[in-house]
Amino acid sequence: MFVFDVETLGVESNAVVLSAALVHFDPEQKPDYQTMLDGACFVKFKAKDQIERLKRTVDIGTLEWWKNQHEYIRHYRDWETDRKSVV
Protein backbone atom coordinates (compact mmCIF):
# COMPACT_ATOMS: atom_id res chain seq x y z
CA MET A 1 0.00 0.00 0.00
CA PHE A 2 1.19 3.53 -0.74
CA VAL A 3 0.30 6.67 1.18
CA PHE A 4 0.98 10.03 -0.48
CA ASP A 5 0.59 13.35 1.31
CA VAL A 6 0.99 16.91 0.05
CA GLU A 7 1.10 20.01 2.26
CA THR A 8 0.17 23.34 0.72
CA LEU A 9 -0.55 26.98 1.52
CA GLY A 10 -4.09 26.82 0.12
CA VAL A 11 -6.77 24.56 -1.29
CA GLU A 12 -6.75 25.77 -4.89
CA SER A 13 -4.78 23.96 -7.60
CA ASN A 14 -2.37 26.90 -7.93
CA ALA A 15 -1.44 27.04 -4.21
CA VAL A 16 2.16 26.92 -3.04
CA VAL A 17 3.22 23.32 -2.32
CA LEU A 18 5.31 23.10 0.85
CA SER A 19 6.14 19.41 0.86
CA ALA A 20 5.24 15.95 -0.32
CA ALA A 21 5.72 12.58 1.32
CA LEU A 22 5.37 9.03 0.08
CA VAL A 23 5.52 5.83 2.08
CA HIS A 24 5.07 2.24 1.00
CA PHE A 25 4.14 -0.44 3.52
CA ASP A 26 2.41 -3.76 3.86
CA PRO A 27 -0.56 -3.28 6.20
CA GLU A 28 -0.56 -6.98 7.01
CA GLN A 29 2.90 -6.53 8.55
CA LYS A 30 1.46 -3.86 10.87
CA PRO A 31 4.57 -1.64 10.80
CA ASP A 32 5.12 0.75 13.67
CA TYR A 33 5.42 4.51 13.19
CA GLN A 34 9.25 4.55 13.21
CA THR A 35 9.47 1.80 10.59
CA MET A 36 7.11 3.72 8.32
CA LEU A 37 8.99 6.97 8.92
CA ASP A 38 12.32 5.29 8.13
CA GLY A 39 10.93 4.02 4.82
CA ALA A 40 9.30 7.28 3.76
CA CYS A 41 10.45 9.70 1.10
CA PHE A 42 10.09 13.40 1.93
CA VAL A 43 10.49 16.33 -0.46
CA LYS A 44 10.37 20.00 0.58
CA PHE A 45 9.78 22.76 -1.97
CA LYS A 46 10.87 26.41 -1.91
CA ALA A 47 7.83 28.66 -1.43
CA LYS A 48 9.53 31.86 -2.58
CA ASP A 49 10.49 30.35 -5.94
CA GLN A 50 6.94 29.09 -6.51
CA ILE A 51 5.49 32.51 -5.76
CA GLU A 52 7.93 34.50 -7.86
CA ARG A 53 8.60 32.19 -10.78
CA LEU A 54 5.47 30.06 -11.00
CA LYS A 55 2.98 32.65 -9.67
CA ARG A 56 1.57 30.17 -7.15
CA THR A 57 -0.69 31.63 -4.47
CA VAL A 58 -0.92 31.74 -0.68
CA ASP A 59 -4.26 31.62 1.11
CA ILE A 60 -4.06 33.83 4.21
CA GLY A 61 -6.44 31.56 6.15
CA THR A 62 -4.27 28.53 5.43
CA LEU A 63 -1.14 30.46 6.35
CA GLU A 64 -2.74 31.41 9.68
CA TRP A 65 -3.70 27.76 10.24
CA TRP A 66 -0.07 26.70 9.72
CA LYS A 67 1.10 29.37 12.16
CA ASN A 68 -1.15 27.83 14.84
CA GLN A 69 0.33 24.35 14.49
CA HIS A 70 2.78 22.84 16.96
CA GLU A 71 6.27 24.39 17.01
CA TYR A 72 7.80 21.17 15.64
CA ILE A 73 5.61 21.36 12.54
CA ARG A 74 6.25 25.08 12.03
CA HIS A 75 10.01 24.54 12.31
CA TYR A 76 9.90 21.73 9.73
CA ARG A 77 8.32 23.89 7.04
CA ASP A 78 10.54 26.00 4.74
CA TRP A 79 8.12 28.93 4.74
CA GLU A 80 8.46 29.44 8.48
CA THR A 81 12.16 30.30 8.21
CA ASP A 82 11.54 32.53 5.19
CA ARG A 83 8.16 33.91 6.21
CA LYS A 84 8.70 37.39 4.73
CA SER A 85 8.92 35.97 1.23
CA VAL A 86 5.59 34.18 1.57
CA VAL A 87 3.30 36.92 2.90
CB 17 within 8 A of CB 45: yes
* Mean pLDDT, the chain cut into blocks of 10 residues (87 residues total): 94 94 93 90 92 96 89 60 42
Domain ranges of the chain: 2-85
Residues 6+ apart with CB under 8 A from 40: 21, 22, 23
pTM listed for this prediction: 0.74
Q: How many helices (H) and strands (E) does the chain have?
A: 5, 3
